[in-house]
Amino acid sequence: MPSEESLLRGQYYAKPQNVFWRIVGELIGASRDVAYAERIEMLKSHGISLWDVMESCERRGSLDSAIEESSIRPNKLAEFYAKHPGISHVFFNGTKAEAAYRHYVMPRLKQSCAHLLYERLPSTSPANASISYPEKLQAWRKVLLDP
């Protein structure tokens, strides 16, 4: 789920301490210096979709660890994949996104999604301080690889 700040601003990764846009800036030029709408278009032009696993949930604050499991409602990713059959890879921004996807989304996927390849990347959240920025950047380079 987006942080409280991201939800307020209606922008993914709005919290300045989150290094997502810094990484994406280095990879495709979509840094925080670029207007948000243009950053989203830059992602699309590089074949990258950006969407939450969770449509909604309850939590206090912005930490994934504060999410109440019983409140999780997944996004309709099966429908999204049906509308975008060219998707081949799903990258997760951290452990919670992957765990929620595997628990709430995968059981609802049809056989037509069996080709999807999954990989968890290190979270870009400031809460993930155990991995250095250069290590995160190196891991995130995978999103640019051809299938």
Active site residues: 18
Among 67, 122, 113, smallest CA distance to 92 is for: 122
Single-letter residue type at 90: V
Largest Cα span, the chain: 41
Query: What is the DSSP secondary-structure string of 66-109?
Result: G--GGG-EE--HHHHHHH-TT--EEEEESHHHHHHIIIIIGGG-
